[in-house]
Amino acid sequence: MKSLSSKLLQMGLLLLVGIILGAGIVFFGRDLLFENGLQEHQGEKQRGKTGGKIVLDKIPVRLYFGGPDENSLEVEVGEIQKPSSTEESVRLVVERLLLGPRHLVSVIPKDTKIKNVYFDGKKTVYLNFSMELSKGHPGGAKIERLTIFSITNTVIANNPYVQEVKFLVGGKEIDTFAGHVNTYNPFRFNPTVVSQN
């Protein structure tokens, strides 16, 4: 009789442990499913968590900087956060360009900031820069041209919907950055200023 009640007690305990484990799996499994569904719903912006920090999806971008001789542009690969729109993509790639190169030469005046980006939905993106783009520019036709196409080529190379770049400074159209190259009309990608090395 004692062994039968002992066996029933053991079976009852095993059943209780099984119920607790099952409930835990259901409860925590539901949380994991909810968390995964939330991540998918947010456009998979999160890959996971590392050390308490959210890891965002990054994409590679082609950045056009001045070559060592400052006679042409060369490509350096960088990364930006994965954008959700054309305007965000343009803003992120220009901000990355403004951070400067790792190995090449920046042809954009120091402290230049991108203030606004507007995409007309057809082919032209309007970039409104801070006054430093014009006021801080050293001038010279060659450097002005490299500045224009450093930005233009970077934007167009990384945004398939953009075909032209229009420059604004301080919210206004400008005729030139520093007196040598007319910037009133939009610019297209220019492969002739890119080094073939």
pLDDT in tens, 32-59: 434 444 344 344 344 444 455 555 699 9
Instruction: Identify whether residues 103 and 188 lie together within a single domain.
Output: yes
Percentage of the chain beyond pLDDT 70 is 72
Last residue of a domain, one of 52, 71, 88: 52
| Per-residue pLDDT at 141 | 86
Residue 103, by phi and psi: left (phi above 0), alpha (psi -120 to 50) or beta? alpha
- pLDDT score, position 179: 85
**32 and 66 together in one domain:** no
* Residues 46 and 63 placed together within one structural domain of the fold: no
Same domain membership, residue 155 and residue 170: yes
User: Do 113 and 177 belong to one domain?
Assistant: yes
State whether 88 and 144 are in the same domain.
Answer: yes
What pLDDT score does 38 carry?
A: 38
How many structural domains compose the chain?
2
- Which one, of 144, 136, 80, lies nearest residue 111 by Cα? 136
Do residue 45 and residue 78 come from a single domain?
no
Q: What average pLDDT does range 73-93 have in this prediction?
A: 96
Domain identity same for 100 and 30? no
Res. 21 pLDDT band, cuts 50 70 90? low
Domain end, chosen from 15, 36, 52, is at: 52
Residue 7 structural domain: 2-52
Give CA torsion, residues 182, 139, 145, 117, to 10 deg: -70
Pair (75, 160) in one structural domain: yes
- 109 pLDDT exceeds 90? yes
Q: Identify the band that residue 13 occupies on the pLDDT scale cut at 50, 70 and 90.
A: low
Tell me: do 20 and 64 sit in the same domain.
no
Average pLDDT over the chain, rounded to an integer: 82
* Residues in contact with 24: Cβ distance below 8 Å, sequence separation at least 6, in sequence order: none
